[in-house]
Amino acid sequence: MANTNQQQPTEESIVKLRQRFLQEEVEKNPGLYHEIDVKRIGEEEWEVRRFLIEYNCDMQVAFDAMIRCYRWKKEFGVHDRKDDMFPKELWELADCARAKDGTFVQMEAFRNQRTYKELKELPKQFIAHMLERVDRMAGQSGFIMLIDAGGAGPSNVNMDLIKFKMTIVENYPSSLKKILIVDLPWILNPVMTIIINFLNPKLKEILTYQKSKELLEMMERNELPESLGGTRSKPNIPENLIPLAYMADKLDLTDKFVDTFYSNLKMKRPK
């Protein structure tokens, strides 16, 4: 998350926090941390400085937050998954674009979402994968989370996944700049009240409501999908992704579920 009242850390404090974390934590508990994170902490200033910024240069609080963050990444397997391990259809629900100032905008449409117990932990794993991905692309500039709520109803809201996302985003300090809820239908007002109630104060501060036509002030028309008044017809997603229908055996999914999945998305099942 982005701290709007940022106190900038000194180079000395960054070095001190890095050394303490590597010596007191990683050396004593090497199995609790992934080698990718350890390498980044040792080589990239941002991977340390972001915690000091988020927690107003409180060394102890930042240290404790680093422990929570990097232990979680190892435990949840954030670095153990690649883009092509997730079905193409999940990627198509999570588009990424750029604002006029260059900021990355991670977009998702509520109306296309469903709760599928058959997918087990896959949706949560994908959410974590997407957050890690956009965080690495954005770097110190941070990113915007845009939720297209137009045409959605209560059946499209998965509270468990929303809570999960808003909890793990705390493991990406000083990164999330804004949360935009676009074209919220009145029927979801009670649901949004519930969601806002479990957000932490910092997330509440950066959450705003907008109409899709207002997005043109922030983004070029060719960066917006057609559903939000733009001209882009295809999502910005990795190449060579595999449709869910071709991953059914790997994901232990039945033919009946696969048919239901594509039917809900109003898509023809790939042959």
Query: pLDDT tens-digit profile of 58-102?
Result: 999 999 999 999 999 999 999 999 999 999 999 998 899 999 999
Same domain, 67 and 137: no
Is 256 within a domain?
A: no
pLDDT per position as a tens digit, 32-63: 999 999 999 999 999 999 999 999 999 999 99
| pLDDT at position 215 | 98
Same domain, 62 and 188: no
Same domain, 189 and 225: yes
| pLDDT at position 62 | 98
| pLDDT at position 112 | 83
pLDDT at 227 over 80: yes
Q: Compute the distance between CA of residue 13 and CA of residue 197 in angstroms, rounded to an integer.
A: 35
- Contact yes or no for 113/151 (Cβ under 8 A): no
Same domain, 209 and 92: yes
Instruction: Give pTM, 2 decimals.
Output: 0.93
Same domain, 233 and 173: yes
Domain of residue 23: give its range: 11-80
Closest to 104 (Cα-Cα) out of 133, 81, 79: 133
Share of the chain above pLDDT 90, in %: 92
pLDDT at 105 over 70: yes
pLDDT at 1 over 80: no
| pLDDT at position 7 | 76
| pLDDT at position 246 | 98
Q: Compute the distance between CA of residue 145 and CA of residue 108 in angstroms, rounded to an integer.
A: 8
| Average of per-residue pLDDT values in the chain | 95
Same domain, 198 and 123: yes
Same domain, 224 and 150: yes
Burial class (CB in 10 A: 0-12, 13-18, 19+), 103: middle
Is 263 within a domain?
A: no
Q: Of 32, 60, 80, at which residue does a domain stop?
A: 80
pLDDT at 2 over 60: no
Please report the sign of the dihedral spanned by the C-alpha atoms of residue 129, residue 158, residue 177, residue 231.
Answer: positive
Closest to 64 (Cα-Cα) out of 17, 121, 122: 17
pLDDT per position as a tens digit, 127-152: 999 999 999 999 999 999 999 999 99
Across the range 170-199, mean pLDDT stands at 96
The confidence band for 178, taking pLDDT boundaries of 50, 70 and 90, is: very high
pLDDT at 5 over 70: no
| pLDDT at position 247 | 98
Sheet of 176-182: strand order equals: 96-98, 104-109, 143-148, 176-182, 207-210
